[in-house]
Chains A and B, each alone.
Chain A
């Protein structure tokens, strides 16, 4: 018994390297880590979006596949974009999402997150991690679903659905009409312009 335990313990580091973290565990770990950091950070709570963006860049961005997100938001137009344009689109879209998310983080309030049991087979390459977020002060929980794909570098998120609203598809029509009216470069330009706008203070322009 004791020997078996020692053997297992010795094996643990090797296992950790060989196996990627399960998708639901990954989402939970990131969320716990980030919320713990916000709770400690008075600047972010006071509306420092720049600091929130840094936190997102270091902790959250590595777990997203922004190229796939941009591709999904572009729909059919993705294929008519040159590799150079695709790269720019993914990068501007990433900046937009990071800025949006940082605004949301400064509004962070105490919340409880329940993760629903993951429904996936061991060899699935795509899964949905579902969670219910309950904020203090409002009675209705909001569902947040993460669409994830397995890659060589672990699981990556390629869409987030809040209350059934997909972050990616919500941009689809805007992107399509921008491309129709001003071409792909026009879309890249307006994304870049949006990303250069000064970011609102905590209260924002509501």
Chain B
């Protein structure tokens, strides 16, 4: 709950600051100055807290165990993925994702094995922010949320709903236990991304802008389920000769 309140406060603050922030480059990012500050803070928190823990996690636990833990959380998440499929009117996808949960919870032993992927039911990514996007809600300005990272006003609101629907939140009443489960999930997720961050380090001239522009494209792609309409300005792409 505290997490949710903090998120609300961050979004509110971001909204308030929108008035006084100066617009730099990307029109989708009117809050760039504030966002850069939060990004730097998140970067520090990631570098000195989360990354070392995630590296330790990867060093200590054998691969099959890490995969099992990652799959376990992914299976819990699939319940909410199916609900979002249905909220977007995608009945076939919803049924497939429910089938994933049933298969993986039983044959996959409480979700530790992603058995469903092997029989042709691959994992999907859906969340409430995407559902809103699917119904035509614009993403709004880009917002970097403290500790949670890149988002937009729409997706930040979506995160609030996702957080309430989260099975870990709903299923565990004991707060210290729940927080340890949250922490385990965060570490597991971070450990899955360790390789990606070294690539990012090498790729970006300006990490902030690179992450922002990649993230916005990624969300747009997810809302359109992998087939976003072309956005390219044709005048930018004239033949060289």
Contacts and interface: CB of A to CB of B under 8 A. Distances in A.
Interface of A: 67-68, 71-72, 75-76, 78, 96, 99-100, 103-104, 107, 132, 134, 137-141, 143, 163-166, 169-174, 176-178, 180, 190-191, 194, 199-200, 202-206
B198 A204 contact: yes
Interface in B60-98: 63, 66-67, 70-71, 74
Contacts of B71: 139
Contacts of A72: 236-237
Contacts of A174: 204-206, 209-210, 213
Interface string B36-61: 00000000000100010001000000
Give the dominant DSSP class at A's interface.
helix
Given A103-B198, A104-B199, A206-B197, 11 more contacts: A76-B235, A134-B117, A137-B67, A137-B192, A140-B123, A163-B221, A165-B217, A174-B210, A176-B25, A191-B205, A204-B202
Contacts of B214: 165, 170
B209 A173 contact: yes
Interface residues of B, number: 46
B178 interface: no
Contact of B213 (A139, A164, A172): A172
A107 B209 contact: no
Contacts of B222: 164
A109 to B, nearest CB: 8
B18 to A, nearest CB: 19
Contact of B217 (A67, A68, A170, A205): A170
Interface of B: 24-26, 47, 51, 55, 63, 66-67, 70-71, 74, 114, 117, 122-123, 125, 192, 194-195, 197-199, 201-206, 209-210, 212-214, 217-218, 220-222, 226, 228, 233, 235-237, 240
Given A75-B236, A103-B199, A137 B66 contact: yes
B202 A103 contact: yes
> What 3 A-B pairs are tightest by C-beta distance, nearest first?
A204-B198, A164-B221, A206-B197
Interface centre among B205, B217, B222 (most CB of A within 10 A): B205
Contacts of A194: 205
Contacts of B204: 174
A190 B192 CA distance: 31
B173 to A, nearest CB: 28
Contact of A100 (B122, B203, B212): B203
A163 to B, nearest CB: 6
Contact of B236 (A76, A134, A206): A76
Contacts of B24: 177
Given A174-B210, A200-B201, A200-B202, A164 B218 contact: yes
Nearest to A68: B240
Contacts of A200: 198, 201-202
A169 B217 contact: yes
